[in-house]
Amino acid sequence: MNTRLILPVFAALFLTLSGCGDGGNGDEGATEPAGEGSSSTMDAVKEKAQAAMDSASEAGSQAMGALSEAAGVAKDQAEMLSAQAGTEAQQLIDQVKTYLDKNNLGSAEDLMAKLSELKESLPESIREQIDALEVKLDQLQGQEQEQEQGQE
């Protein structure tokens, strides 16, 4: 892509510099009015410059297209990863609920630690479920401690 842009620019630069000479007159002191020769050289330079600009414009358009496509792919991948994280979190939430129902507070607490790590990257609805489970786990742990103290 860069080669397509660089070559026309160098060609235009070369033609411009070659047209800026004194026309091979040397130090003869004679001046010729600008005739068809210099006009056709300027036209050629203008054409090359226009071709270089067109090529640069096309390269820019291609770059923007590639960038847009890459952004779309990245967005799709991010959505897919987010969905997978949500699914995994929901499975962990279901397991925590099962452990809480069976009064297996140690296992529930371990899974809640994992959920807490994922919490910030999850949708609000799942975060609310995690918050509710944290409250329930704290309540059950408090009840368990009260029972242990009552037995002593």
Per-residue pLDDT of the chain (152 residues; tens, 9 = 90+): 555 667 677 677 666 666 655 555 544 444 445 555 678 888 888 888 888 888 888 888 888 888 888 888 888 888 888 888 888 889 999 999 999 899 898 999 999 999 888 888 888 989 999 999 999 989 988 888 888 777 76
- Count Cα neighbours of 4 within 13 Å in the Cβ-side half-sphere: 12
Structure tokens at 8: 């026309």
Task: Report the greatest alpha carbon distance in the chain.
Answer: 120
State the Cα–Cα distance between residues 145 and 56, nearest whole angstrom: 74
Structure tokens at 91: 């499975």
Q: What is the pLDDT of residue 23?
A: 52
The answer to whether the beta carbons of residues 133 and 93 sit under 8 Å apart is yes
